[in-house]
Amino acid sequence: MSEKTAEKLIYGFHPVLARLRQDPSGVLEIYLDLTRRDARARDLVHQARDNGVKLAQVEADRLTRLVGKAARHQGVVARVKPVALTQSLDDVLENIKGPPLLVILDGVTDPHNLGAIMRSADAFGVHAVIAPKDNAVGINATVEKVASGAAETVPYIMVTNLSRTIEELKEHNIWVIAADMDGDQPLSRVDAKSGIAWVLGAEGAGIRRLVKQNCDQIARIPIGGTVESLNVSVSAALCLYETVRQRGT
C-alpha cells in the first residue's frame, strides 16, 4: 500500500485534538489557518509541539482546497494514519468484559446522525456499532468531525446481512431490542442489565419489517408534544443512558 493511500484527512478542532491526545504517532502533519490566534489554536500548537508533530500555518484557501468548500474545517486540517479498529464482530464479542452493549443501525445514511451516535456510543461504553454494508453511511470526514474523536475509539462494523447478524448475537445470549414507536413496552420497563443490542432505524423509514421481526422485544420511548418521533441519534442516546442507569455504570 502506498503512503498516499495509507493516510486520510480529518478536520475540525475536536477531531484533531482528540487524535493528538489518543494517538499522536498517527498524526502525520497538521495544517492550521495562519490567522487563528485564539486559545484553541494556541492549545493545538502546544499539543503538536509537545508530541513532536509537524504543524504548518497556511492560508485558509489551502485548507478549503484540501477538504472541499462544503466542509466546515474551522481552520484546521490534519493528515493522519487510519486507526485500525477491530472489524470482526467475533473479535469484539470475544474481548468483551461484563455484559455486552451494542448498537445496530438499520438504514442510517446521514453522517451527522452517525457521528452523534458514535459520540454517544463512546460516552456510554458501547462495544461496537453495527450497520449493513448497503444503505448505510460509512466513517467519513463529516462523521469524524461530529463524533469528536469517538469514531477513533468505537468499532464500526458493517455486515452483509443484518438479520443473520442478529441471530448470531442471540447465540451469544445477547438480548436484541428494537427501539420503535410501536413498541409494547416503554423504555423504562426494559431489562437492560444483561447483554443487550439496541436496534434503531432512520427517521421516516424506521426499522425494516424483517429486521424488527428478528428482534426479541420492541420498546418505545414515550414522548408527548406534536412531534411523532425523535431523531435517531437522540433515541440512541436515551436507550444507552437507560442501559447504563440500570447497570449502575
In a domain, 210, yes or no: yes
Q: What is the 3-state secondary structure (H, E, C) of 217-245?
A: EEEECCCCCCCCCCCHHHHHHHHHHHHHH
pLDDT recorded at residue 87: 66
Residue range(s) defining the domain that contains residue 208: 89-247
pLDDT recorded at residue 3: 44
Based on the domain organization, do 76 and 104 belong to the same domain?
no
In a domain, 1, yes or no: no
Based on the domain organization, do 49 and 123 belong to the same domain?
no
In a domain, 50, yes or no: yes
Based on the domain organization, do 140 and 208 belong to the same domain?
yes
* Domain tally, the chain: 2
Based on the domain organization, do 127 and 23 belong to the same domain?
no
Spans of the chain, pLDDT less than 50: 1-5
Q: State the alpha helices, DSSP H only, in 53-208.
A: 60-67, 89-94, 111-123, 141-147, 162-171
pLDDT recorded at residue 2: 41
Based on the domain organization, do 71 and 167 belong to the same domain?
no
Based on the domain organization, do 23 and 75 belong to the same domain?
yes
pTM of the model: 0.75
136, 107 contact by CB (below 8 A): yes
Based on the domain organization, do 211 and 234 belong to the same domain?
yes
Q: What CATH number is associated with residue 120?
A: 3.40.1280.10
pLDDT recorded at residue 1: 38
